[in-house]
C-alpha cells in the first residue's frame, strides 16, 4: 500500500517493462483529463483544512491519487499536510471533494511556507488492446501555509519589492529583493532601459524575505540608462495583477 505522499509505482514499472520488451508504444495527449477548481491553495495556520474539487469532464473513468509534497517534488521528506481521500475512483462527469488537512508543525511564523498539492490520474487498463502504454499524468498546484497573523493582502505589498541591476562576472543581472513575508509568483517581467529591453516569461518566483536574480542576456553591462521594470503576478485567487512600472536601481 502506498503512502499518501508517494506516487504509485505500478505505472512506472509497467512503463519500464513495456519499453524493455521493445513493444510499440501508444501514448495519450500530455494534457491532463482531470481538472482542479483552483491554481493555488492558501492555508492559514489557524485553519484545520482547505478544500479543493477535482472534476472529471472526460468520458473515461480514472483512479485518482492525491498527496502533498515539497517544492522539489521530494517524496520522502515529511510535510505538515495530508490529502484526504488519498485514492479514489472518479467516473465521467463526476467530481470529488478533496481536503488538505493541516498537521501539527513548527513552520516559520514570520513568513509563508510553500508546498505542492498533487493530483495523479491513472487510466484504466483496456485488456482488449495490446502493446499500449498507459501514462499516469499528474497536475501540481502550489499550497501556501500562511501564519494567521499575516492579515494584509499580499498584493498590497508588491510596491515594496526592490529592484536593482548588478554586475556578476561581467554580466548584468536583474535582482529583486522581496522584504515581504509573502511569495511573489511572477507571470512576466519586462526590463527596459535606453536602447535595451528584455522580457522574462514565467520567471522564477521571489521567495519571502529573500532575493532572486535573472540574467540580462541582451543587456550591455555599460551604458544602462534609466532602467525600469514592469511585471505581472498571480494573486491568491489565480488572477493576474500588473502593478505600475517601477524604477530600477542601476549598476553602481
Number of neighbouring beta carbons within 10 Å of residue 209 = 15
**What residue spans of 70-189 are helical by DSSP H?**
none
- Do 123 and 205 belong together in one domain? no
How do beta strands 162-168 and 171-178 pair? antiparallel
Q: In terms of C-beta density within 10 A (0-12 exposed, 13-18 middle, 19 or more buried), how is residue 58 classed?
A: middle
* 4 assigned to some structural domain: no
* CA-closest candidate to residue 209, choices 159, 160, 147: 160
Residue 36 shares a structural domain with residue 139: yes
> Distance of CA 183 to CAs 143, 212, 220, Å?
11, 11, 30
- CA–CA gap between residue 111 and residue 74 (Å, rounded): 22
Same domain flag for 35 and 100: yes
Query: Residue 208's domain is classified under what CATH number?
Result: 2.60.40.10
Confirm whether 5 is domain-assigned. no
User: Taking Cα atoms as reference points, which of 67, 165, 80 lies closest to residue 117?
Assistant: 67
H or E stretch including 240?
Answer: strand 240-241
DSSP-assigned letter for residue 142? E
Determine the structural domain holding residue 37 and report its residue range.
10-146
Q: Is residue 72 part of a domain?
A: yes
Q: Is residue 2 part of a domain?
A: no
Record the pTM: 0.83
234 within some domain: yes
Q: Cβ-count burial of 141 within 10 angstroms (0-12 exposed, 13-18 middle, 19+ buried)? A: middle
**Do 50 and 132 reside in the same domain of the chain?**
yes
Q: H/E element holding 13?
A: helix 10-20
- Asked whether residue 17 falls in the same domain as residue 89, the answer is yes
CB contact at 8 A, 120 and 86: no
Residues in the chain: 252
> What is the structure's pLDDT at 132?
64
Within this chain, do residues 26 and 137 fall inside the same structural domain, yes or no?
yes
Asked whether residue 60 is assigned to any structural domain, the reply reads yes
Q: Say if residue 81 is in the same domain as residue 191.
A: no
Q: In the listed set 113, 128, 146, which residue is the last one of a domain according to the structure?
A: 146
> Is position 3 within any domain?
no
pLDDT tens digit at each of 252 positions of the chain? 444 444 443 333 333 333 333 332 333 345 789 999 999 999 999 999 999 999 999 999 999 999 999 999 988 899 999 999 999 999 999 999 999 999 999 999 999 999 999 999 998 877 766 666 677 899 999 999 999 999 999 999 999 999 999 988 888 899 999 999 999 999 999 999 888 899 999 999 999 999 999 999 988 777 678 899 999 999 999 999 999 999 998 766
Q: 243 and 205 share a domain?
A: yes
Total tally of structural domains belonging to the chain:
2
Which of 120, 146, 172 lies at the terminal end of a domain, its last residue? Answer: 146
For residues 64 and 120, the answer to whether their CB atoms sit within 8 Å is yes
pLDDT value of position 124: 82
Among residues 117, 146, 175, the one where a domain terminates is: 146
In a domain, 74, yes or no: yes
Cα separation, 235 vs 17, in Å, equals: 43
Q: Are residues 28 and 132 in the same domain?
A: yes
Amino acid at each position: 500500500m502506498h503512502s499518501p505522499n508517494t506516487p504509485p509505482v505500478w505505472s512506472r514499472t509497467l512503463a519500464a517493462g513495456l519499453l524493455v520488451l521493445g513493444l510499440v508504444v501508444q501514448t495519450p495527449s500530455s494534457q491532463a483529463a482531470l481538472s482542479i477548481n483552483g491554481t493555488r491553495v492558501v492555508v492559514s495556520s489557524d485553519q484545520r483544512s482547505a478544500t479543493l474539487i477535482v472534476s472529471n469532464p472526460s468520458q473515461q473513468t480514472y483512479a485518482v491519487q492525491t498527496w502533498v509534497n515539497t517544492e522539489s517534488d521530494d517524496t520522502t521528506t515529511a510535510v505538515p499536510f495530508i490529502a484526504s481521500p488519498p485514492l479514489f475512483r472518479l467516473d465521467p462527469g463526476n467530481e470529488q471533494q478533496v481536503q488538505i488537512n493541516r498537521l501539527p508543525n513548527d513552520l516559520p511564523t514570520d513568513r509563508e511556507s510553500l508546498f505542492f498539492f498533487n493530483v495523479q490520474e491513472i487510466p484504466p487498463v483496456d485488456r482488449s488492446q495490446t502493446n499500449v502504454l498507459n501514462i499516469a499524468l499528474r497536475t501540481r498546484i502550489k499550497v501556501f501555509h500562511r501564519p494567521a497573523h499575516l492579515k494584509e493582502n499580499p498584493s498590497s505589498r508588491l510596491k515594496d519589492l526592490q529592484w536593482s541591476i548588478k554586475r556578476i562576472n561581467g554580466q548584468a543581472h536583474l535582482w529583486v529583493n522581496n522584504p515581504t513575508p509573502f511569495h511573489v509568483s511572477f507571470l512576466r517581467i519586462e526590463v527596459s532601459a535606453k536602447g535595451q529591453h528584455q522580457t522574462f516569461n514565467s520567471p522564477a518566483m521571489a521567495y519571502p524575505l529573500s532575493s532572486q536574480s535573472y540574467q540580462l542576456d541582451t543587456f550591455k553591462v555599460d551604458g544602462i540608462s534609466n532602467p525600469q521594470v514592469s511585471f505581472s503576478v498571480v494573486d491568491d485567487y489565480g488572477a493576474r495583477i500588473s502593478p505600475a512600472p517601477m524604477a530600477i536601481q542601476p549598476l553602481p
